[in-house]
Amino acid sequence: MKNNNLLKTYTILLPIYKEELILDQLIQAIKNLKYPKNLLQVLFLLEKDDDKTLQALLTKNIPNYFSILIVDEGGPKTKANACNVGLRHATGELLVIYDAEDIPEEDQLLKAVKNFNTSTDIYLSCFQAKLTFYNHSTNLLSKLCTLEYLLHFNFILPIFSNKEIPIPLGGTSNHFKTHILRETGGWDPYNVTEDADLTYRLYRKGYKIKMLDSYTYEETVIDIKSWIRQRSRWIKGHIMTFLVQTQTAFPNLKNTKALKNTFSLYYFMGMVFILSFLHIFLIILLPLSFFYDLSYINILLAKICLFLYLYVYIKIPITLIYREKTLSLLRICLIYPFYLLLYNITSIFAVIQLITNPYKWEKTNHGNNLIKDFTNKQ
């Protein structure tokens, strides 16, 4: 392999829990990575009560650079706690996390190393790869989730990243400099969106996160019940992150960097939660403002609502779809705003669980949509 002397040792953390159905796909995806195997350390992170996954894993013919770690060092049964155990055993100069259903592009590690090597920014701590779904065409919900991810990872995050505004990590395909991760203290084991919390702790220490132009393919949920459980966990974790990170004093208005950090925190962890409730009023006010009491104020309100509806929920998605050549998603653009109404339900569940059971981890089940041919993901 060219420039082998410029490559770094790499640790891959694979936190899994009750994932015996998807082990073959995961192992093959990691084996397919184009990276010198002598520079890789792959750590399966298993909970001590997950006997089925452990027994299934022991039957697999895994390479010698794979190891199994049992998380038996106290703490909550969360992905963050498992990753902290993995971090303590990590030997790589760089470290990446993949979820059980992930299929990263085969050259993703090479791209990450190249970007780290060519960057002159000593504060660059992490690259976030783009996430999308290999089962996007399963049903209407999977297509809507794919469009949502397309907007987030291919539009919103790149804009924020280019403006050097903090971008929240996505929980998987995060490529870290290991020493910086250790310096920051790893993940908060009690936060159910540990990735978001880590984002703002990194930025508070002066470190930066950039986007990596590489995809990781995941398995999206395909039923409403699973979608609500997954999204309510995310929202609950974002609220927790917001409450924790806003304990510090409001930044000096003359400090541009601090203002950018605060804006990102309030937007991603605060405003998105509030907008999940306000969105329903936009959908309701749009028709009402046209057909009920056409006063000057109502006409103005109707124009604002119509502009927001057409531009934010229609024009931007359509533009992205053509740019990314995902034309199969084109027909669902008109109903995408109504899909976002589901966040009203998940936000209510998130608030209730934040009060009654804040550290509960709503697990997403995987393995129902395995793919047989990794070359035909798209």
Half-sphere exposure at residue 258, Cβ-oriented, CA atoms within 13 angstroms? 9
In this prediction, what percent of the chain has a pLDDT beyond 70? 81
* Residue 217 bridge partners (DSSP): 103, 132
Q: Is residue 97 part of a domain?
A: yes
Q: Is residue 200 part of a domain?
A: yes
The pLDDT mean for the chain works out to 84
The residues near 43 (Cβ < 8 Å, ≥ 6 apart) are 11, 12, 13, 14, 66, 67, 68, 69, 86, 89, 90
Please identify which residue in the block is written with the tokens 């870290």: 176
Closest CA to 108 of 24, 52, 22, 33: 33
Section 246-273 average pLDDT: 74
My answer on whether 221 and 277 are in the same domain is no
Model pLDDT, residue 268: 85
| Residue 186 C-alpha from the chain's centroid | 17
Section 347-355 average pLDDT: 82
Residue 156 CA to residue 275 CA, distance in Å, equals 16
Model pLDDT, residue 232: 86
Model pLDDT, residue 324: 84
> Position 252: which residue type?
N
My answer on whether 143 and 280 are in the same domain is no
Q: Is 216 helix (H, G, I), strand (E, B) or coil?
A: strand
Model pLDDT, residue 375: 44
The last residue of one of the domains, among 237, 257, 284, is 237
Q: Which residue has the higher pLDDT, 309 or 8?
A: 8
Model pLDDT, residue 355: 84
Do 289 and 299 meet the contact criterion of CB atoms below 8 Å apart?
Answer: yes
Q: Is residue 330 part of a domain?
A: yes
My answer on whether 27 and 172 are in the same domain is yes
How many structural domains compose the chain? 2
- How many of the other CB atoms lie within 10 Å of CB of 100? 24
Do 142 and 224 meet the contact criterion of CB atoms below 8 Å apart?
Answer: no
Q: What is the DSSP code (8-state) at residue 271?
A: I
Token readout for 126 is 């992490």
Token readout for 312 is 């934010």
Q: Is residue 255 part of a domain?
A: no
My answer on whether 219 and 311 are in the same domain is no
The last residue of one of the domains, among 237, 257, 287, is 237
My answer on whether 228 and 300 are in the same domain is no
Half-sphere exposure at residue 298, Cβ-oriented, CA atoms within 13 angstroms? 12
Q: Is residue 198 part of a domain?
A: yes
My answer on whether 74 and 151 are in the same domain is yes
Domain CATH number, residue 136: 3.90.550.10
Model pLDDT, residue 89: 96
Q: pLDDT band at 362, cuts 50/70/90?
A: low
My answer on whether 79 and 134 are in the same domain is yes
Q: Is residue 177 part of a domain?
A: yes
Section 83-96 average pLDDT: 96
Which domain does 288 fall in, by range? 273-356
Question: Of the ranges 28-32, 219-223, 342-346, which is most confident?
Answer: 28-32
Token readout for 101 is 């259903």
My answer on whether 17 and 92 are in the same domain is yes
Q: Is the pLDDT of residue 371 over 60?
A: no
Q: Is residue 264 part of a domain?
A: no
Model pLDDT, residue 367: 59
Burial (CB < 10 A; 0-12, 13-18, 19+), residue 313, is buried
Q: Is residue 261 part of a domain?
A: no
Q: Is 284 helix (H, G, I), strand (E, B) or coil?
A: helix
Three-state SS string across 85-153, please? HHHHHCCCCEEEECCCCCEECCCHHHHHHHHHHHCCCCCEEEEEEEEEECCCCCCHHHHHHHHHHHHHH
Q: Is the pLDDT of residue 163 over 50?
A: yes
- Model confidence pLDDT, tens digit, residues 292-339: 655 555 566 666 666 766 777 778 888 888 888 888 888 888 888 888
My answer on whether 311 and 232 are in the same domain is no
My answer on whether 34 and 136 are in the same domain is yes
Residue 197 CA to residue 226 CA, distance in Å, equals 23
Do 16 and 45 meet the contact criterion of CB atoms below 8 Å apart?
Answer: yes
My answer on whether 88 and 144 are in the same domain is yes
- Model confidence pLDDT, tens digit, residues 60-82: 989 999 999 999 867 788 899 99
Section 216-234 average pLDDT: 90
Specify the pTM: 0.86
Per DSSP bridges, beta strands 124-133 and 174-177 are antiparallel
- Model confidence pLDDT, tens digit, residues 118-141: 999 999 999 999 999 999 989 999
Q: What is the DSSP code (8-state) at residue 266?
A: I
My answer on whether 83 and 179 are in the same domain is yes
Residue 131 CA to residue 162 CA, distance in Å, equals 18
The last residue of one of the domains, among 179, 214, 237, is 237
Section 53-58 average pLDDT: 92
